[in-house]
Amino acid sequence: MTQHVVIVGAGIVGVCTGIWLRRAGLDVTIIDRAGPGKGTSHGNAGVLAAVSMVPVTAPGLIRKAPGMLLSPDFPLFLRWSYLPKLMPWLAKYLSNANDTDTRRIARDLAPVVTDSVSQHKSLVAGTGLEHWVTESDYCFAYRDRAAFDGDAYTWALRRDAGFEPELIEGTDVSDYEPDLAGAGLIAALKEHGFIRDPGGYVAALAGHFEELGGKLIFADVKDFDLSGGSIRAVETTQGRFECDNAVLATGVWSGPMMKKLGISVPLESERGYHIVFENAEKGPKRPTMIAAGKFVATPMAQGVRCAGIVELGGLDAGPSKAPLELMRRQVSAAYPAMTATDEIEWLGHRPAPSDSLPLIGQIGQSKVWTAFGHHHIGLTGGPKTGRLVAGLIAGQPTNLDMTPYAPERFRK
């Protein structure tokens, strides 16, 4: 096949798409303004969270939201000056906070995430990059059995998807996670894993893409040439790149580009914070979600990374102090004996469509394909998404109904 595909975006989704397209024999160029693994694909908890099919918009969220926002100890923040601009998206987002839509979203997210570990392993098999994927339990730490039972609705949906946790209680908790304080019960999930350096992993995958003959270009994308009704070229600051297909995989920055293509996607930034505690000792042995604080602590190559606090406030504002201060308080409570040589703060923008489902598919008959909108599960679902998009472009059939992810669902 002699088709040329241009992929816009060198995050985990874009790079995975490029690898699978090269393996299918297509000519591929990835264009990114910063380089592979520099953005949101770098700043995340690193978990291959196969169990992450349950959306935030569960029943009861509307009733609980005001208390969440007003509590200084809840990991949800809002830049109130941004609220007027946020409201149209927020109204659509909250409209899904009911049982029917939650079950629908969970059912549709499951095929993208539940086989995450096997998808990552398939991606790196035979490449020399196998060491990047670490299989492990993924743990949810609760104060006690009552706190665990309080999440019964979410766990029921996880069980529906095939995930049954092993419950570790009492003195067994300290044997399993000796440095974790304040937890009386751990729900441990098998068939999970994590990446010890997500940014380094994506960069390594990009290197493999180039070894396969793919091209990587550093440039800003300015426009698409759709003369004749389908993609002809992508216009960039480094010139014009003619192509037969194009893939849009630029996360939350895909919104403005979609408008150029005639679709207004209700998409907001889920501003995510993390802190890396460098060379940390007496931290977690495996990725652990601290349920009370809604953050994940993951042992990484650089130290312990703690991530999960969310702020709604758009793309333009700089980092806030309050989310990072809360993170430090919560980490100190969960791992009181943990020490570190230094700390690294980070703020990134995770793409949040109003219906919590990624956009995966072709825009009409334009031969422009979307591969973005994964909220906080981009690393988890990146290889599967890339494989699906590459298969669609290369004419390889899939037995998965792609309707729930169609970008056309937002066309008015």
Per-residue model confidence as pLDDT tens digits over 197-219: 999 999 999 999 999 999 999 99
Same domain, 85 and 218: no
Same domain, 136 and 107: yes
pLDDT of 2 = 62
Give the torsion sign (CA, 215, 405, 402, 380): positive
pLDDT in tens, 359-412: 999 999 999 999 999 999 999 999 999 999 999 999 998 999 999 999 999 997
Last residue of a domain, one of 353, 371, 393: 353
pLDDT in tens, 135-186: 999 999 999 999 999 999 999 999 999 999 999 999 999 999 999 999 999 9
Distance of CA 207 to the CA centre of its chain: 21
Rounded to an integer, the average pLDDT of 36-47 is 90
pLDDT at 1 over 60: no
pLDDT of 65 = 83
Report the percentage of the chain scoring pLDDT > 70. Answer: 100
Same domain, 261 and 271: no
Q: Which segments within 354-394 are labelled E, that is strand? A: 359-362, 368-372
The CATH number given to whatever domain includes residue 259 is: 3.50.50.60
Rounded-to-integer distance, Cα 402 and Cα 384, Å = 13
pLDDT of 296 = 97
Rounded-to-integer distance, Cα 188 and Cα 171, Å = 15
Same domain, 179 and 86: yes
Cα–Cα distance list, 272 to 136, 269, 358, 375 (Å): 24, 9, 18, 10
Same domain, 183 and 278: yes
pLDDT at 73 over 60: yes
User: What element of type H or E holds 205?
Assistant: helix 198-211
Overall number of domains in the chain: 2
pLDDT in tens, 233-276: 999 999 999 999 999 999 999 999 999 899 999 999 999 999 99
Domain that holds residue 108: 47-192+267-353
Same domain, 320 and 384: no
pLDDT at 64 over 90: no
pLDDT of 345 = 96
What's the mean per-residue pLDDT of the chain? 95
CA dihedral defined by 395, 400, 404, 406, rounded to 10 degrees? 0
The CATH number given to whatever domain includes residue 96 is: 3.30.9.10
Last residue of a domain, one of 310, 336, 353: 353
What is the 3-class SS of 224-263, one letter each residue? EECCCCCCCEEEECCEEEECCEEEECCHHHHHHHHHHCCC
Same domain, 279 and 346: yes
pTM of the model: 0.96
Last residue of a domain, one of 353, 370, 394: 353
Rounded-to-integer distance, Cα 393 and Cα 353, Å = 23
pLDDT at 108 over 70: yes
Same domain, 173 and 306: yes
Identify which has the larger pLDDT, 2 or 70. 70
What is the 3-class SS of 153-194, one letter each residue? HHHHHHHHCCCCCEEEECHHHHHHCCCCCCCCEEEEEEEEEE
From the CB of residue 67, how many other CB atoms can be counted at a distance below 10 Å?
Answer: 10
Same domain, 347 and 332: yes
Same domain, 20 and 58: no
Same domain, 153 and 176: yes
For 278, list phi and psi in degrees, rounded to 5: -65, 140
pLDDT in tens, 297-326: 999 999 999 998 889 999 999 999 999 999
Same domain, 298 and 171: yes
